[in-house]
């Protein structure tokens, strides 16, 4: 289990513990509130996250502009970044790097997916 800013990220990184964290420590991965957002990644109205997934202004921007579907794409990208850079997510430097990549992924130049993009189905 990996902790970033006091949140357990086992569902994001892969559950390494049979027992797992309690539900209140899980990152927002679904939409139980029924709220929708105009997703910056998919450029259409989609179900939004239930809570800001990251602290501060970036987390609030993501909450207001990113869909559940786009957040799942980010989770896959974050796994790759953590592995490629061999980051230890509890370290401040790693959190800063992840935050930078997250901002670029959602709000950077060319962040929107091409029209008609269909995400690859998980196995």
Of the candidates 50, 84, 48, 80, the one whose C-alpha atom is nearest the C-alpha of residue 66 is 48
Answer yes or no: pTM beyond 0.75: no
Question: Which pLDDT does position 87 carry in this prediction?
Answer: 92
Give, for all 123 residues of the chain, the pLDDT tens digit: 444 544 544 334 433 333 333 333 444 457 888 899 999 999 999 999 999 999 999 999 999 999 999 999 999 999 999 998 899 999 999 999 999 999 999 999 877 666 776 666 666
Cα–Cα distance measured from residue 28 to residue 44, given in angstroms and rounded to the nearest whole number: 20
Q: How far apart are CA 55 and CA 59, in angstroms?
A: 5
- For the stretch 110-122, what's the b/e string if a residue is b when 16 or more beta carbons lie within 10 angstroms of its beta carbon? eeebeeeeeeeee
pLDDT confidence of residue 97 = 93
> What are the tokens at 11?
């569902």
**Structural domains of the chain, with CATH:** 27-107 (1.10.3880.10)
Contact 64, 71 (CB under 8 A): no
């Amino acid at each position: 289990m990996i902790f970033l800013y006091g949140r357990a990220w086992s569902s994001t990184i892969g559950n390494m513990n049979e027992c797992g964290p309690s539900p209140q420590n899980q990152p927002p991965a679904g939409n139980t509130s029924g709220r929708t957002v105009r997703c910056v990644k998919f450029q259409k109205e989609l179900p939004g996250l239930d809570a800001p997934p990251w602290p501060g202004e970036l987390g609030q921007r993501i909450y207001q502009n990113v869909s559940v579907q786009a957040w799942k794409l980010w989770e896959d990208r974050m796994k790759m970044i953590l592995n490629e850079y061999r980051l230890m997510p509890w370290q401040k430097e790693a959190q800063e790097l992840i935050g930078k990549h997250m901002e670029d992924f959602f709000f950077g130049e060319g962040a929107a997916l091409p029209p008609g993009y269909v995400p690859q189905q998980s196995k």
